[in-house]
Amino acid sequence: MISEDGYIVTNNHVIEGASEIEILLSDGTTRDATLVGTDPATDIAVLSIADASGISVASWGDSDAMEPGAWTIAIGSPFGLGGTVTVGVLSATSRVIGAGPYDAFLQTDASINSGNSGGPLFNGSGEVIGVNTAIFSPGGGNVGIGFAVPSGMAQDVVRQLIDTGSVERGFIGVSLQGLDEVLARALGLEDTEGAIVTAVETGGPAEDAGIEEGDVILSVDGESAEDPREVSRLVAALTPGSEVPVSVFRDGEQIDISLTLAERNPGREQAGSPTPTDDGELMGLSVSPVPELVRRNLGLEEGEAVMVRNVQPGGAAADAGLTQGDVIFSAAGEDIGAAEDLSAAWAEARDADRPLLLQVNRGGNTLFIAVELTQEAESD
């Protein structure tokens, strides 16, 4: 519980689809809870109980202050064994596992298993620095790799859910691509930090502000953007309607642009926010619609094919050889027009215990790639 008012934080996947929700206390009694709001994009949900008496309130800590090697403490109910405490160190920060558009997980080797979902991850001072969310495991059990939504992200989401029941995120209306060393040199950049604009939405905030295809976004609101996902997180954290400075690199020089944010809605593709293709067990791949310029070059209509935006190292997609920028035409012989189509094809292949055959265009050449499950990143 995070307040004396009876607000409780958990994961969206824990309560998703529930018709009734009860809170089980350590003394074995239960109390009815109501759903305040959910944010599937970060897998956070907020519940409320009318009677909060006798329940301790946990204080938020500063996840940004945590460094690898610091002690972490996880509490939860693994495999239904309530009140379980495990201890480990923080293994990494800002970890991307392909679970959603705003991946920036804390990674810990404190034992996290199925049933730990929604439980707190504490620092050594007993402050909540994360919400336990996922594990990475070949067999569904703890192997010392667990993930938590950092408190810096969770707090803002929780506040908005309590205040309004939903989460507002900024939107600028561009599609982005990461930079490699060759592309950076071709553009005249000294390093690979930033994200190149591959398409600009007509009538969107970016177009209105003068951002163009080929621009490289270097920073948003004064914060450096290391890659497309960082652009996504920076933009999403800002309030729609606010005016923010955006620095771009164009024709050999840095240009500062003032941009008024719109609101991102769930059906809209946001800059650097590829749509996950997986439902539960991850393929290690995220995609988005094919940018207009690429569609024209390939002779595609809008809604035909999807483009690979991110490939998680060590995942099934990476093992199969898929790379950023690949354009996926079909899966198992069926046309792919959206991330949901690819997700459904992947789930069907998994259920049938067979590889998923993809038809891909890479650099103007068509090839076939078979993706086979090798290991799983699972919600716990």
Residue 84 burial (10 A CB sphere; 0-12, 13-18, 19+): middle
Q: How far apart are CA 345 and CA 279, in angstroms?
A: 11
Answer for the pair 32, 44: CB distance below 8 angstroms, yes or no: no
Q: Which two tokens stand for residue 131?
A: 């919400």
Residue 117 designated active-site: yes
Location of structure tokens 């600009």: 200
Q: How far is the CA of 56 from the CAs of 7, 44, 49, 263, 265, in angstroms? A: 11, 20, 13, 36, 36
Torsional sign, CA 26, 30, 31, 34: positive
Chain centroid offset of residue 189 CA: 28
Nearest Cα to Cα of residue 330 among 310, 349, 305, 352: 305
Q: How far apart are CA 20 and CA 37, in angstroms?
A: 14
How crowded is residue 85: how many other Cβ atoms within 10 Å of its Cβ? 12
SS3 56: coil
Catalytic residue among 39, 43, 109, 221: 43
SS3 344: helix
Nearest Cα to Cα of residue 275 among 355, 361, 336: 336
Nearest Cα to Cα of residue 371 among 363, 336, 41: 336
Chain centroid offset of residue 232 CA: 10
Residue 13 designated active-site: yes
Residue 343 designated active-site: no
Catalytic residue among 48, 117, 219, 286: 117
- As annotated, the active-site residues are 13, 43, 117
